[in-house]
Amino acid sequence: MATAEVPVTVQPETVPVQAPVEAPPVADDATSLPAEKTPVPEVKKAKSLDRDVALADIEKDKKLSFIKAWEETEKSKAENKAQKQLSAITAWENTRKADIEAKLKQIEEKYDKKKAEYAEKMKNKAGLIHKQAEEKRAMVAAKKSEDDLKAEELAAKHRATGTVPKKLIACFGG
């Protein structure tokens, strides 16, 4: 593929006009050598070179300044991006922790409720056992009263008849 070259226009730099340097007066002596041309053009060339070097230095400093500003901007962008990501991670972490803590609290409440229910059941069972024990005690007491009454009746009968109970004789070995 052929690439079309785009013509680049270069603006000529404006050069400040300097006053011409006057040559020192020459003596009118016949013995003096013919007047030589003063090195004015060389001075202008040297000044022009110095000026070009100074302009090049200024342009270089300008480029370095732009590069430094760009670098600082890029670093700032990277720092802001990192801070944004870190804050997003922190928010994510806090959300997850809150969810876990809420679930833990729900589980604790659930187990506390079950614990209370089981405690109530155990208290009910203990009450039922106590009631059954009281009933059994009452039955034993009733049976004892009945046996005592029966023994008294038999004793009264034996006294009235004057007989000795047979079971008692077996107990004494007689």
- Rounded distance, CA 67 to CA 60, Å? 10
Q: Along the 174 residues of the chain, how does pLDDT read in single tens digits?
A: 455 555 555 555 554 555 555 555 555 555 555 555 555 455 566 677 888 899 999 999 999 999 999 999 999 999 999 999 999 999 999 999 999 999 999 999 999 999 999 999 999 999 999 999 999 999 999 999 999 999 999 999 999 998 888 875 545 554
Query: What amino acid is encoded at 146 in this protein?
Result: E
Size (the chain), residues:
174
Q: Residues 21, 42: contact at Cβ < 8 Å?
A: no
Q: What is the DSSP string of 68-101?
A: HHHHHHHHHHHHHHHHHHHHHHHHHHHHHHHHHH
Q: Sketch the domain layout of the chain as residue ranges.
A: 41-164
CA distances from 19 to 4, 16, 40, 44 (A): 45, 10, 11, 11
Residue 51 has a CB neighbour count (10 Å cut-off) of: 14
